[in-house]
Amino acid sequence: MPQNDSGKMLNVIAKSWTDADYKKKLLADPKGVLTSEGIDVPPQANVKVIDQQPNDMHVILPPKPAGDINVKDVGSHLAATTYLTFGGTADLTFFHAAGSGSEPTK
C-alpha cells in the first residue's frame, strides 16, 4: 500500500468505528468503499474486510513460494510471511532465504 494510502486507511477504520452504515457498506463492498476514499486498489485485487472481535484469531496463509520447502527447517527457505492477530495484538514474522545469515525476525 502506498504511504499516502496508510493515512486514508486509518480514516476508513475510524469512520467504520463511528458510523454503522459506513461499516455495513465497507463490509459489503470493500473495494468500492476504499476506491471512493481515494485508496488505490488494483483491479485484480480480492479485498476482504474482517470485522475483528476481541477474542478472534486470524491466520493468513500467504501463497506458497516457488521451489522446495523443508518443513523441518522453514527458516532456511524463503517460506512464509505469517501474520497472526489475537485480541488486537499483531505478530509479524519474516523468514529469510537460505544463506542470508539471518534468523527469522520480528
Report the first-to-last Cα separation within the chain, whole angstroms.
20
Task: Give residue 30's domain range.
Answer: 1-49
Query: Do 24 and 38 fall within a single domain?
Result: yes
Query: Do 76 and 27 fall within a single domain?
Result: no
Query: Do 36 and 69 fall within a single domain?
Result: no
More confident residue, 35 or 68: 35
Query: Do 8 and 43 fall within a single domain?
Result: yes
Look at residues 45, 62, 52 and name the one whose alpha carbon lies nearest to residue 90.
52
Burial class (CB in 10 A: 0-12, 13-18, 19+), 81: middle
Instruction: Provide the pLDDT for residue 101.
Output: 46
Query: Do 57 and 103 fall within a single domain?
Result: yes
More confident residue, 1 or 38: 38
Q: What is the pLDDT of residues 49-95, one digit of tens each?
A: 999 999 998 888 888 777 777 666 565 444 444 433 344 444 444 44
Instruction: Provide the pLDDT for residue 6.
Output: 84
- Polymer length in residues for the chain: 106
